[in-house]
Amino acid sequence: MSQQSKYSRTPDRSRRVVIAGAGMAGVQTAVALREQGWRGTITLLGAEPHPPYDRPPLSKAVLLGKADGSAFDVDFASLGIELVLGRSVTGLAADAHEVLTDAGPVPYDRLVIATGAEAITLPGSEGVPGVHVLRTLDDAERLRPVLAAQQRIVVVGAGWIGAEFTTAARETGCEVTVVEAADRPLAGALPEEVAAHMARWYADAGATLRTGTRVAAVQDGAVLLADGTSLPADAVVIGIGSRCATDWLAGSGVELCEDRSVRADERLRTSVPDVYAVGDCASFPSARYGRRLLVHHWDNALQGPRTVASNIARCEVEGTVYDPVPYFWSEQFGRFVQCAGYHGVADELVWRGDPASAAWTVLWLREGALVSLLAVGRPRDLAQGRKLIERGALLDRTAAADASVPLKSAAAQAV
């Protein structure tokens, strides 16, 4: 993240924005407010003691010891942003316009909830020696010596983070066994006909993948499976997903969804006046897809803050609507995997290239229009496809299935 402008005007201290959470979404909101002319004070509250940092490098360069950190390149002082680290939010007194913290209340005129998500732990694994998650900088620092020692590692969960960690662990020479309760990797993210082709990537990398396997218990030095098998483990990494960090909002009046996300509207406003929500902790209604979306990915934490900042800084009656084409990428097993859109509304799947090859794409259509795609080693398909999704473009299926034809040339018309 690069700083584009400096804050040089005298701030209007009668108007105060407080941002709870100093991850990507929180930092981007603070910077975007200044870029869009907000002259009031901005206070950014971060629970961790570290300067705000980017998370994607944690499972790559930071984990492998190729970087000491991934701090954002933002001069908070010159932007007039008060950065308060090591301050955890504990509650919200909306009637008093105060955020409650472990060091006392903080008053606000506008509040932005950007507390993100937290790693889900495996019940019974708490406190067991050698058990790890990978969500924070401290998590990555604790795992560095594990990889450096080339230990035997059992990874629980074959989702995105499990695959990325396994990639790094195999690169350092660790013996890795991945245990997945579902019958395939990425079961919660991709349909069977797509995810099944990714299972062989583990074996190609020298890792053992055991699907349809449940964990009965995590012990010191071993993982006991439901079928009675005991897997020796010097370390265990739990990668079974994340959940919105919103427990602190209990009793605040801020409406939450069943998935614990803050129920934001199309302008990222919450059910409480003067309170907004953005990033991993907030779900929003998508007119594009006709349903509420919860997007736990980096690009959402980058794009959403611009909408929040616009609606706060410009005080528009109607405001800016947030309805992006979700985007995500992952680097795993020597492959660059990119996803755009939301395939849950699709009624047709089109293969573009051979999934047994090094580069291929799968397209999801709804009534002939492209709504989502996943590209493996085909970044041009992703770039062109993302624009087609934004346009609501219909595709010529024959042309779309021909990997030698530029995807943009397969567009029949826009709707």
Cβ-contact 225, 132 below 8 angstroms? no
C-alpha span between 222 and 398 (Å, rounded): 51
Phi, psi of 244 (to 5 degrees): -60, 135
Q: What is the three-class DSSP state of 367? A: coil
Q: Residue 43 forms beta bridges with which residues? A: 18, 82
Q: Do domains 12-118+242-313 and 121-238 have the same CATH topology?
A: yes
C-alpha span between 390 and 324 (Å, rounded): 8
The architecture CATH gives domain 121-238: 3-Layer(bba) Sandwich (3.50)
Give the domain ranges of the chain: 12-118+242-313, 121-238, 334-414
Q: Say which CATH topology domain 12-118+242-313 has.
A: FAD/NAD(P)-binding domain (3.50.50)
Phi, psi of 183 (to 5 degrees): -85, 5
Phi, psi of 119 (to 5 degrees): -65, 140
One CATH from 1.10.10.410, 3.30.390.30, 3.40.30.10, 3.90.1150.10 for 334-414: 3.30.390.30
Cβ-contact 285, 291 below 8 angstroms? yes
pTM of the shown model:
0.93
Task: Encode the chain (415 residues) as per-residue pLDDT tens digits.
Answer: 444 444 445 556 559 999 999 999 999 999 999 999 999 999 999 999 999 999 888 888 888 888 777 899 999 999 999 999 999 999 999 999 999 999 999 999 999 999 999 999 999 999 999 999 999 999 999 999 999 999 999 999 999 999 999 999 999 999 999 999 999 999 989 999 999 999 999 999 999 999 999 999 999 999 999 999 999 999 999 999 999 999 999 999 999 999 999 999 999 999 999 999 999 999 999 999 999 999 999 999 999 999 999 999 987 556 799 999 999 999 999 999 999 999 999 999 999 999 999 999 999 999 999 999 999 999 999 999 999 999 999 999 999 999 999 999 999 854 3
C-alpha span between 54 and 51 (Å, rounded): 10
How are beta strands 230-232 and 131-132 bridged, if at all?
unpaired
C-alpha span between 149 and 237 (Å, rounded): 15
Cβ burial, residue 155 (10 Å; 0-12/13-18/19+): buried
Cβ-contact 155, 239 below 8 angstroms? yes
